Chain A
Amino acid sequence: MSRCCYSSTSLLPPHHRLRLSPPLYSCSLPRKPLKALSVSASLSAPPSDKQLFVLELAEKLEDSLSLPLPPIQPLRDTSSQSLVSTPWPTRQSEPFRFTDISYLTKYPVVPAQIQTIPSSFPLNSSLPIQITLINGLLNPSLSRIPSLPAGVFVGSIKDVPQGPISEKISSAIASCSEFKEKDVFWDFNNVGAADVAVIFVPAGVKVLDPVHLMFCYSGSGKEEEMSMCNPRVLVVVEEDAEVSVVEEHFGFDGAGRYWANPVMEIFIGERGKVSHSYVQRQPLNAAHIKWTVARQEASSTYEHVEVSIGGLLSRHNLHIQQLGPETVTELSTFDLVSQSNQIQDLHSRLVLDYPKGYSRQLHKCIVCNSAGRAVFDGNIRVNRFAQNTDAGQQTRSLLLAPKALVTVKPNLQIIADDVKCAHGAAISDLDQNELFYFQARGLDLKTARNALVYYFGADVIRRIPFKPIRETAASEVKKLLSF
């Protein structure tokens, strides 16, 4: 991969300035539209098929945007440049070694159209604050934003009031554009995002009601086409502030084939707290590639509960960057592979550079289809200055069908020398002793198996703080496990 990675701000310690290899283009090129850049690229070396795919898709996304979106222009520029020289991931590149993403290039990809969803489709949340995004665009008529505490903003980036809030949003976006550990999908989102949902909570304010982001998708309806959209969310929580965010991704019935490519960026100020619940229940022919990037300042808390059960190809890149000491990070994730050729992939990365961080990660995964596949890569980097870190990671996978495949790669990279880190991984069928315990208490074998499988996942589902979301997730899981 030929990219240059320079850290232009002093947020990270000096040893993070890496230079991987000479870039094809230096970063001082004047900003040109992608078409011009791609022509220059082709002059120096003929692009491969996949590289052409990247360039063509990036152009299609650029063309599909009817209006510029000035607040995120820096992101668009950085990513367009990046896309020129970033190759399409192959099985030879480490991040995609175990994940077959050929589904994304199987059909011609077209940017998603503006869709009207019939009013009979249930899009009403039982939570007080609701933002509905249809194919990545905020839909005010289907959203519900009650009166919020002073200074809190929830809405589209186009509606952010000029003044201190818009300045803080701009500086957050500038930090986003410096994100180095990204990939081609993160870049596509920047280039193709037509709108950004913003949740801004000023210092000292605790928003008690959760913000429910409902992402509804639909394809073009043509079998031979894959419609792609790029929803983007920015959450900025200042010092001593708190908010709970719930995001749900699903398709409208008879949705057709689509590729959802959402990105959420979260900034948590000192002593702030964000509780993030994420439920992915896409239809079983959808592709879902998601990025979540969280940046935690000193003494902040980030709680992430994830239930990922839909999609034919689902990949979540979860990156958490510690920007100060004594942070608390709790991650609980549950992946369910229940269909033929389904892939659930979670690549998480927690980067710790400051002392006394506390983190716990629990990953649970069930594969109950012989042709299904699950992948987990849990990376925790405890760098030189992250002394007295207390990090724990546990992954448990349940393989319930012959030839079902799960690949787990828990990896802790520890450089600091005074830390407490533990990790455990287990992959198995149901425990015979557990089954017998159920039988000895009067439950027959079949019920015992069903109960143990369901409760394996329910262990994570019950950590979602909000009952309606928990119940939706639980009932979807039960359906897929066909109880």
Chain B
Amino acid sequence: MAGASISSSFTVASSPSIRPSYRVWTRSRLRNFTRATLTIDSGASGGVVSGSEKVLLEVKGLKAVVKESGKELLHGVDLTVREGEVHAIMGKNGSGKSTFSKVLVGHPDYEVTGGSVIFKGEDLLEKEPEERSHAGLFMSFQSPIEIPGVSNFEFMLMALNACREKNGLKPIEPLEFYGYLGPKLAALKMDPVFLDRNVNEGFSGGEKKRNEILQLAVLEADLAILDEVDSGLDVDALQDVSSAVNGLLKPNNAVLMITHYQRLLELIQPSFVHIMEGGKIVKTGDSSLAKQLDEGGYKAISSV
């Protein structure tokens, strides 16, 4: 069933069509979207630390190896993320930060050898990557790949409709989708022209990252994993991306950022900062930990 409706949306530069039979429904949907727009523009920044909030992600003793070589990269990661929280994971190169995010998303190169991951009360590791996305998990890739032949518009429409279908909602029509995208593009200071370009084709590093955040805004995920979203961004682009992420924060979703640098954390205030080393989280603190790291390097942290 999913396949049938998606194939109907494989159109080649088709002009949007309006279907009167959905008019009543679309008006009410549009109202819902307007509400969403207001939420974005109000821009709440930072997350509130509170132990009584619902647990979104619970990782216990996660161990993983590279499938091909069998080398163990994660040696028992423990992490709890609650609704409304912003977590940052920092660590040296090779400490396992990116591996951790890829394992959470279900990348085929890695195999989980121990531990558990519960997301919104369900076993995440049992699910296929697309099922994890439907459940509300989103990852912004460190180096997004180019997909020639698929326009950004088509790709996002396909992804959104797959998610909506899974959750029992009717697919969104192209014309409506243009309207839905408008404010989100504006928030990221992106030109609507880019929607017709092929996914990431000819994009600069900064444009690719903005594209990732736009997809996050479209899919409205519950947990967004931002893998080194600040790499390749200039000061202005970083500002725009950060304010967009802040604008997407709501009391019932959460963000997990993986980064090397303090500057992102100044713009997106974390509730918790974790230091990862040797495939494990070795230290957890608040944003002051990040400042210490910035000033003294990893040596300063490990001695404390």
Tell me the A residues contacting B by CB distance below 8 Å: 431-434, 436-447, 450-452, 454-459, 461-462, 467, 470-471, 474, 478, 483
A455-B147 in contact (CB<8A): yes
Q: Which of A439, A454, A459 contacts B130 (CB 8 A)?
A: A439
B7-A442 in contact (CB<8A): no
A interface, over-half SS: helix
Q: Which residues of B29-60 are within 8 A (CB) of A?
A: none
> Do A483 and B129 form a contact, CB below 8 Å, given A434-B147, A441-B159?
no
Among A444, A462, A467, A474, the most chain B Cβ lie within 10 Å of the Cβ of: A444
Residues of the A chain whose Cβ atoms lie less than 8 Å from the Cβ of B13? 462, 467, 470
Give Cα A431–Cα B146 distance, bound, in whole angstroms: 11
- State how many angstroms separate the Cβ of A68 from the closest Cβ of chain B: 45
Instruction: List the B residue with the shortest CB-CB distance to A362.
Output: B148
A442-B166 in contact (CB<8A): yes
- State how many angstroms separate the Cβ of A451 from the closest Cβ of chain B: 7
Q: Which of A440, A441, A447, A470 contacts B6 (CB 8 A)?
A: A447
B105 within 8 A of partner (CB): yes
Give Cα A454–Cα B3 distance, bound, in whole angstroms: 14
B147-A474 in contact (CB<8A): no
A458-B130 in contact (CB<8A): no
Q: Which residues of B139-162 are within 8 A (CB) of A?
A: 139, 141, 144-145, 147-150, 154-155, 158-159, 162
Instruction: List the A residue with the shortest CB-CB distance to B133.
Output: A442
Tell me the B residues contacting A by CB distance below 8 Å: 2-3, 6-7, 10-15, 105-108, 128-130, 133-134, 139, 141, 144-145, 147-150, 154-155, 158-159, 162-163, 166, 198, 215, 219
B7-A483 in contact (CB<8A): yes
Known: A431-B145, A451-B10, A458-B10. 18 other contacts (CB 8 A): A436-B108, A436-B129, A440-B106, A441-B159, A442-B134, A442-B162, A443-B130, A455-B147, A455-B148, A455-B149, A456-B149, A457-B149, A458-B12, A459-B148, A467-B15, A471-B14, A478-B10, A483-B10
Instruction: List the B residue with the shortest CB-CB distance to A444.
Output: B130
Q: Which of A432, A444, A451, A483 contacts B108 (CB 8 A)?
A: A432
A462-B219 in contact (CB<8A): no
> Do A459 and B2 form a contact, CB below 8 Å, given A437-B144, A439-B128, A441-B159?
no
Give Cα A433–Cα B3 distance, bound, in whole angstroms: 21
> Do A440 and B133 form a contact, CB below 8 Å, given A451-B150, A451-B158, A455-B149?
yes
- State how many angstroms separate the Cβ of B91 from the closest Cβ of chain A: 23
Residues of the B chain whose Cβ atoms lie less than 8 Å from the Cβ of A454? 10
Give Cα A461–Cα B149 distance, bound, in whole angstroms: 9
Residues of the A chain whose Cβ atoms lie less than 8 Å from the Cβ of B134? 442
Q: Which of A434, A442, A478 contacts B163 (CB 8 A)?
A: A442
Give Cα A410–Cα B106 distance, bound, in whole angstroms: 39
> Do A446 and B3 form a contact, CB below 8 Å, given A436-B108, A440-B133, A478-B10?
yes
Residues of the B chain whose Cβ atoms lie less than 8 Å from the Cβ of A452? 147, 150
A441-B141 in contact (CB<8A): no
A439-B145 in contact (CB<8A): no
Q: Which of A433, A437, A442, A467 contacts B219 (CB 8 A)?
A: A442
- State how many angstroms separate the Cβ of B137 from the closest Cβ of chain A: 9
Instruction: List the B residue with the shortest CB-CB distance to A457.
Output: B149
> Do A442 and B130 form a contact, CB below 8 Å, given A447-B6, A462-B12, A470-B13?
yes
Residues of the A chain whose Cβ atoms lie less than 8 Å from the Cβ of B6? 443, 447, 451
B145-A442 in contact (CB<8A): no
- State how many angstroms separate the Cβ of B29 from the closest Cβ of chain A: 19
Residues of the B chain whose Cβ atoms lie less than 8 Å from the Cβ of A439? 106, 128-130, 133
Residues of the B chain whose Cβ atoms lie less than 8 Å from the Cβ of A444? 2, 128, 130, 162
Residues of the B chain whose Cβ atoms lie less than 8 Å from the Cβ of A467? 13, 15
Instruction: List the A residue with the shortest CB-CB distance to B15.
Output: A467
Give Cα A467–Cα B149 distance, bound, in whole angstroms: 17
Residues of the B chain whose Cβ atoms lie less than 8 Å from the Cβ of A451? 6, 10, 150, 158
Give Cα A414–Cα B36 distance, bound, in whole angstroms: 59
Residues of the B chain whose Cβ atoms lie less than 8 Å from the Cβ of A478? 7, 10
Among A442, A459, A478, the most chain B Cβ lie within 10 Å of the Cβ of: A442
Give Cα A240–Cα B176 distance, bound, in whole angstroms: 42
- State how many angstroms separate the Cβ of B42 from the closest Cβ of chain A: 27
Give Cα A437–Cα B106 distance, bound, in whole angstroms: 11
Nearest first, the 6 A-B pairs at minimum CB distance are: A459-B149, A455-B149, A442-B133, A439-B129, A441-B159, A455-B150
Give Cα A434–Cα B148 distance, bound, in whole angstroms: 10
Among B15, B105, B148, the most chain A Cβ lie within 10 Å of the Cβ of: B148
Residues of the A chain whose Cβ atoms lie less than 8 Å from the Cβ of B108? 432, 436
User: Would you mind naming 30 contact pairs between A and B with Cβ atoms under 8 Å apart?
Assistant: A434-B145, A437-B145, A440-B105, A440-B106, A440-B141, A441-B130, A441-B159, A442-B133, A442-B162, A442-B163, A442-B166, A442-B219, A444-B2, A444-B162, A447-B2, A447-B3, A447-B158, A447-B162, A450-B10, A451-B10, A451-B158, A452-B147, A455-B10, A455-B149, A456-B149, A470-B12, A471-B12, A471-B14, A478-B7, A478-B10
Give Cα A445–Cα B106 distance, bound, in whole angstroms: 13
- State how many angstroms separate the Cβ of A232 from the closest Cβ of chain B: 31
Residues of the A chain whose Cβ atoms lie less than 8 Å from the Cβ of B198? 459
- State how many angstroms separate the Cβ of B183 from the closest Cβ of chain A: 21
Give Cα A457–Cα B150 distance, bound, in whole angstroms: 10
